[in-house]
Structure 1
Amino acid sequence: MTRKGLTFPEDAVSNGRVGTARIRAQIGATAAALASPEPAPLMAPLLGMAAPKRSKYSNEKCVVDGIKFDSRREAACWVVLRSQEAQGHITDLRRQVRFEIAPPAVIQGRKRPARYYVADFVYQRSDEEVIEDVKGHLTAEYRLKRHLMAAKGLTITEVK
């Protein structure tokens, strides 16, 4: 059938209106899909349902030796450092060590707490203390903390 210069198949025409039956069928199918207990995978985020949470920098938390790590890379470094400690190459291996980088201060009449940098690993190699941080992405906050640590005479070894 041809209408206003357009050609439609014969089964598309219903009661002089083109495509209404097809549109009604699509609306019915959509309503049925929305009413089903399990939404389509792409519809879940649109419907406000909890989609799988992805971290900001795509790191995956994991557990090694009963210890929780923020990323697989950090866990792998822990395994390597533990083996180096067992072989005697390093000593006094510690995790999540806090360093004060700014003392408490009064700002506009309000007392503000001290600011800290938390190193992933700290250990002794020979007579030197090594501060090690596993980084996948260098943030502006980390660069500032690295700068403040350097101002205190402490160097951070970055593992990428």
Structure 2
Amino acid sequence: MTRSKYGNKKVVIDDITFHSKNEAKYYMHLKQLHNDGIVQSFEMQVKYELQPSFRKHGKLHRAITYITDFVVTYADGHIEVVDVKGMETTDFKIKKKLFEYRYPELSLKCVTYSKIDGGWIELDDLKKARQSRKKAKNAK
């Protein structure tokens, strides 16, 4: 297993290399949801163009792209773009904003796994839950 710049360990499942244990765990979660009929299908590593390439003063500026972890199509037909995150980097926050602007018809969901909160949870909900626990602890 090799580590990424954020300390994540790469994991191989079904001959697919995942960037983190959590990403691999979410893949297994999606497979189970697919078997249960909740998820119709899912794709991995889908690339979205956030800004096209352009030339200025003879210099070529490359396109800005975002590669998501999963694009999930549910049985009811709605689609979610899912990124498995431990934390949001500054670069990701900018790309998320660009994505939301460029693709208003799609929902970008950042998830992480939290045992204390019952499993897969959206990153924003995790932050709120942690703040609530911190307030409760400080009130004691």
Same fold, judged at TM 0.5 (above): yes
Structure 1 residue 56: Cα displacement: 2.6
Matching residue of 1:56: 5
Q: Report if the CA contact (8 A) 1:57-1:137 is conserved.
A: no
- Percent identity among equivalent residues? 31
Q: Any residues of structure 2 matched to 1:1-160 within 5 Å, and which?
A: 55-125=4-74, 126-152=76-102, 153=104, 154-160=106-112
Greater percentage in strand: 2
Matching residue of 2:116: none
Letter of the 1:97 partner, please give it.
V
Aligned-pair RMSD on alpha carbons? 1.5
CA distance in structure 2 between the aligned counterparts of 1:58 and 1:95, rounded to whole angstroms: 21
CA distance in structure 2 between the aligned counterparts of 1:83 and 1:55, rounded to whole angstroms: 27
CA distance in structure 2 between the aligned counterparts of 1:84 and 1:72, rounded to whole angstroms: 18
CA distance in structure 1 between the aligned counterparts of 2:56 and 2:107, rounded to whole angstroms: 29
Unaligned runs of 5+ in 1: 1-52
Q: Report if the CA contact (8 A) 2:3-2:10 is conserved.
A: no
TM-score scaled by length of structure 2? 0.72
TM-score scaled by length of structure 1? 0.63
Of structures 1 and 2, the one scoring higher in RCO (CA 8 A, sep 6+) is 2
Structure 1 residue 54: Cα displacement: 5.1
How many residues of Structure 1 are paired with residues of Structure 2 in the alignment?
A: 108
Unaligned runs of 5+ in 2: 113-140
